[in-house]
Chains A and B, each alone.
Chain A
Amino acid sequence: MQALFGQLLVGLINGSFYALLSLGLAIIFGLLNVVNFAHGAQYMMGAFAAWMAATYLGVGYFWALLLVPAAMGLVGVAVERLLLRRLYGLDNLYGLLLTFGLTLIAEGLFHQAYGNSGSTYPVPAALRGGVNLGFMYLPLYRAWVVVVSVVVCAASWFVIERTKLGAYLRAGTENPRLLQAFGVNVPLMFTLTYGFGVALAAFAGVMAAPVYQVTPLMGSSVIMVVFAVVVIGGMGSIAGSIFTGIGIGLVEGLTRYLYPEASSVVVFVVMALVLLVRPAGLFGRQR
């Protein structure tokens, strides 16, 4: 029983990462209709940026948590302006191919510069240590990850579902031409949305840096699961991606307790089952 609680808590922690990553992916897909394959690479670059800022500039963790997403958000804006924008009229396969290409380039460059063993980013001093919960030892940092990602997810959901800006966004998702006819600057909204999605990925990267080894491949090992999460939740559904992210983490944890060998496959089994029953995903609407 103790082991079960332990595995579920670990599942919750992993689920918070999934939620944070799939949220960005869902926002981008929802508005831009672009399958952002570079999300994993942007997450990796966020982690590397935090490491580089600490190593070369002496920038601490909490500053990195603010500055890195901002900087990566600007990179996202540039990518949208210079590259992605040209593909909106085409099948969304082209967007996928472009972002996939960007992923390969980014991973290749970081591999060339830093090798694949990666680097270690220390846990910030304020968050070292942990609490003994009786059934497991919970590192303080992991608890922080859960809290922060829940806050960020809830804030994003609030902005999108309950504010005027969010209403524009949702309207843009529904019918961008009509929205433009009302005088809203839709292209600018597209640019900022992509930038925000990328910033979220980078934010998750900074959060992950003290936990995982910072390597060029860290994104590609997590992105497959995150894509599955988005598909299960319903492509483009904000709430769907958040709940599914956490849910999938828990399902993984449960599987690791019951039958560990299946823990890497279970996500895709769930995905297949969900798609059979609800082709648009749990929270998605048929278009």
Chain B
Amino acid sequence: MSRIPRVACCLAALLAAPTLAADKVSDGVVKIGVLTDMTGYYSDLAGPGSVLAARMAIEDFGGKVLGKPVQLVSADHQLKADVASNTARKWFDQEQVDVIADLVSSSTAGAVMPVAAEKKRITLLSGPGTTAFTGEKCTAYNVHWTYNNWALANGTGREVVRQGGDTWYFVTADYIFGRSLEEDTTKVVKAAGGKVLGFARHPSPGTTDFSSYLLQAQSSGAKIVGLANAGADTVNCIKQANEFGVTPKQSLAGLLVFITDVHSLGLDTAKGMYLTTAFYWDMNDETRKWSERFFAKHKKMPTMVQAGVYSSVMHYLKAVQAAGTDDADAVMAKMKATPVNDFFAKNARIGPDGLLRHDMYLARVKAPGASKKPWDYYEIVKTIPAAEAFPTVEQQACPLAKSASPAVMKK
């Protein structure tokens, strides 16, 4: 008689064990992985700067969460989808990585997101732009942090059309990111009453000579040549457009331009160009303070991707602290329930689709004479409020958001 309760107790304890384990930190460590392009075409806009940003976030948080150490690992995905998904698998299966940040380039992010969802680990996208990551490709364990193509298309596209640039020709990077950016911008241009006259798609990465694509853009007679590419591709396009006399007869709209691109082009070549950004270092005391700390270590001002990595890792660590566990479901719920308030975003919320909706900024590149100090490159023309900057939950076709209960939606 007396043995039965004891056995029952033991059984109960065994049954309860998984829940008890979930209440603390798995494997006694919270591991953050930064998977990025360390040496390739996007390594200046993300790369080592993203790793530094994550390290700064961990240090600022205190290096420990729930009494357990926070560790940082990083790897180079070489812009290859297979390398990215294999690294993610190895990190999840053998190295207890809890969360992967950055994932610059949509082809790598698209490869890692399903793996993370399958293993119930979190992805914090800062580098990639594809809008569908919180649309039809959304997962329950993903947050798209910094920008998406929809936001770029709306910010830059709408403003350019409003100023009279109503006929467009696209020079597009021929992979998921470029095509998605072209598609989003086409919608915006058409909705605003403009016309798209055509497009030329170039292999990426690996194209250095854009003259033949630019010639096609030139003979189309479009007022605006939209550059649906990124990094070195954009920089070479802008440079060669000047050379071939595309500008100033036609205007360029760089749909994704980073401050590192402007830095390497020089203001003389880039001046006057409109661009949409999630972050600029010289906006207020808070952004300046953080950026100058970053600059002291990196010798370059942060891009929006790098600032986004800091912000997303910090928000993740705060959510682990608040949830009392590093269990992905609990942390994700906490992340979505808590507004983001830091130098990067004010009162921004993560929707049920995983998209962080925050203010975006329309900027114009200064002329050399207007630049008063190093890295003084942008004039912020206007702030695009979060509600206008990003698509609504309804506009995104994320299956998760539709099935989400109203209670979750409210959070």
Contacts and interface: CB of A to CB of B under 8 A. Distances in A.
B244 A222 contact: no
B85 interface: no
Contact of B43 (A111, A123, A141): A111
Interface bin, chain B = 35 or more
Contacts of A118: 232, 235, 264
A221 B207 contact: yes
Which among A7, A116, A118, A137 has the highest number of chain B CB atoms within 10 Å? A116
A119 interface: yes
Interface string B283-315: 000000000000000001000000000000000
B228 to A, nearest CB: 15
A183 to B, nearest CB: 46
Interface stretch (B120-128, B209-217, B342-350): B209-217
Contact of B245 (A108, A139, A263): A139
B208 interface: yes
B174 to A, nearest CB: 7
Interface stretch (A62-70, A194-202, A210-218): A210-218
B379 interface: no
Which of the four size classes fits the interface of chain A? 35 or more
B392 interface: no
A92 to B, nearest CB: 27
Interface stretch (B53-61, B135-143, B198-206, B356-364): B198-206
A261 to B, nearest CB: 7
Contact of B240 (A6, A211, A217, A263): A211
B266 interface: yes
Contacts of A187: none
A236 B408 CA distance: 69
A3 interface: yes
Contacts of B266: 120
Interface string B29-45: 00000000001111111
A60 interface: no
A117 B261 contact: yes
Nearest to B216: A3
Nearest to A6: B215
B208 A116 contact: no
A117 B244 contact: no
Nearest to A14: B209
Interface in B178-233: 200-203, 205-209, 211-213, 215-216, 218-219, 231-232
Interface in B232-285: 232, 235-236, 239-240, 243-245, 260-261, 263-266, 269
Contact of A137 (B40, B213, B244): B244
Nearest to B233: A213
Interface string A12-53: 011000000000000000000000000000000000000000
Contacts of A141: 243
Contacts of A7: 212, 215
B239 A213 contact: yes
Interface in A195-239: 211-213, 215, 217-218, 221-222
Contacts of A264: 203, 206-207
A260 interface: yes
A30 B150 CA distance: 54
A101 interface: no
A130 interface: yes
B41 A217 contact: yes
Contacts of A130: 243-245
A136 B203 CA distance: 23
A117 B216 contact: no
A2 B221 CA distance: 14
A206 B236 CA distance: 16
B263 A117 contact: yes
A253 interface: yes
Contacts of B39: 108, 111, 116
Contacts of B44: 115-117
A160 B216 CA distance: 40
Contacts of B300: 115
Contacts of A136: 215, 218
A169 interface: no
A256 interface: yes
A136 B217 CA distance: 12
A10 interface: yes
B219 A6 contact: yes
Given A10-B211, A118-B264, A264-B203, A3 B219 contact: yes
Nearest to B47: A116
A260 B201 contact: yes
Contact of A123 (B40, B201, B243): B243
A116 B269 contact: no
Contacts of A111: 39, 43
A270 B219 CA distance: 29
A85 B42 CA distance: 37
Contact of B236 (A2, A13, A116, A213): A213
B240 A117 contact: no
Nearest to B258: A117
B76 to A, nearest CB: 12
Contacts of A2: 219
Interface string A84-118: 00000000000000000000000010010001111
24 contacts: A2-B219, A6-B212, A10-B209, A10-B215, A111-B43, A116-B44, A117-B231, A117-B232, A117-B261, A117-B263, A117-B264, A120-B239, A130-B244, A130-B245, A211-B209, A213-B232, A213-B264, A215-B232, A221-B205, A253-B212, A260-B212, A260-B213, A261-B201, A264-B203
Given A111-B43, A118-B264, A221-B206, 11 more contacts: A2-B219, A116-B43, A117-B45, A118-B235, A119-B264, A139-B243, A211-B209, A217-B232, A221-B207, A221-B208, A261-B174
Which 5 pairs across A and B sit closest by C-beta, in order of nearness? Answer: A117-B264, A117-B44, A264-B203, A137-B245, A256-B212
